[in-house]
Chains A and B, each alone.
Chain A
Amino acid sequence: MSYLLPRLTTKKEVDQAIRDTAELVLVLRFGREHDSVCQQLDDILFKTSNLLSKMAAIYTVDVDSIPVYTQYFDITLIPATIFFFNGQHMKVDYDRPDHTKFIGSFRNKQDFIDLVEVIFRGAMRGKVMVRSPIDPRNVPKYELLYKEI
């Protein structure tokens, strides 16, 4: 499904997407095209992209193509979905250790739509961190193992 979504392949393209997307939630999906969970997620993203066109711009990024960003965003699990608003990264509290990105696929389309809406409304009210509206049971569980702390 990811071929239906616009894809960013270089650091410059990602920079441009982050800088030039104005008054919209920028959704960056880091993953691999042939990963089955990524495909599930892409399916949800594509099917909702039209409905969310006034609230969000959705792009896919291959984790292997831009190592700079993969490292900078600390992407260790895929698919990882990161949100920006007007060039500012948006944190979301999913009741999971990592607030900077959503790991895994959404359970259904409505979950993703709700999340984008909450981020959009939060950003419009000046909040850089919002609480996820998704039922915690529908958020994939993972653990981060801390090294060098």
Chain B
Amino acid sequence: MKMMAATKKSEQTIQDFQYCEVCRRHHSQGRKHVYSRTHRDNINAIINKYGKKVKAAKPVLKHPVVDSGVNEENFWCYFCGCEVKKHDTTATATMKYGGFFRHLASQEHRQKTFSFWWDHRIEKSLKNSFLLTQEDYGSKQIGPTVEDLQKHKKQKTLPKGRVGANFDRSSSSGEEWLPSFGRVWQVGRRWKPWQQKRKGRTKASAAQSRPDFSSEEANGP
């Protein structure tokens, strides 16, 4: 009864209240709220804070920095309302602000930023500093990507004279293809069994065997 009385008194129902994510409170002012002093102050604080972070990161876009060691730092995107990885990191190295720039260049961030600006009536000229075009993101990344770098490192360590170094994986492989296989006997060349097979000379089961232990015959004579 007490509750009922309270709602009647103000004559407001729960539907009249809206949640403002920037001010983190419910209000019943409708669209007027975005012009209120507290809301404007909060928006300015966000733009300042986020703007400083972007400003600090921008020089790195022109001259990428790779540090050794792992850096799992996150940052909060106020416009998208989500936490994003700040750096691109692998087990051994970290590309600074890799995740940060990728997020700023993403299509999703672009859309969210546009709607944030529209919802909160923010000065349009401020918007571009929080967005990266795909061209900026792509062209300013000097040097190889993290994946290419890893690939390159791996190839470098492989010895040139290793077995099958020049093995051509792109050559055709039909039903006829057979791998190299050394003969069971120690005499003769490695390609002999393959040649015999090609000629269609089916070798009658050349070896017959009697195991001492632990084996059974697969192909009976």
Contact = CB atoms under 8 A, between A and B. Distances in A.
B206 A74 contact: yes
B180 A70 contact: no
A25 to B, nearest CB: 10
B167 A143 contact: no
Given A91-B182, A140-B213, A147 B207 contact: yes
Contact of B202 (A63, A71, A77): A71
A74 to B, nearest CB: 5
A144 interface: yes
B175 interface: yes
A142 B186 CA distance: 17
Contacts of B31: none
A interface bracket (residues with beta carbon within 8 Å of B)? 35 or more
A18 B208 contact: no
Given A63-B218, A75-B219, A100-B183, A127 B210 contact: no
Contacts of A80: 218
Contact of B216 (A15, A35, A89, A123): A35
B interface bracket (residues with beta carbon within 8 Å of A)? 35 or more
B179 A146 contact: no
A91 B194 CA distance: 16
Contacts of B219: 63, 70, 75-76
A142 B211 CA distance: 4
A8 interface: no
Interface string B169-208: 1000101011111111010001001000100001111111
Interface of A: 11, 15-16, 18-20, 22-23, 30, 32, 35, 37, 63, 70-80, 84-91, 97-100, 103-105, 122-129, 140-148
26 contacts: A15-B179, A20-B169, A35-B216, A74-B184, A75-B219, A76-B219, A77-B218, A78-B215, A86-B167, A87-B169, A88-B167, A89-B181, A99-B182, A100-B183, A100-B184, A103-B215, A104-B214, A124-B163, A140-B212, A140-B213, A140-B215, A143-B209, A143-B210, A147-B205, A148-B204, A148-B206
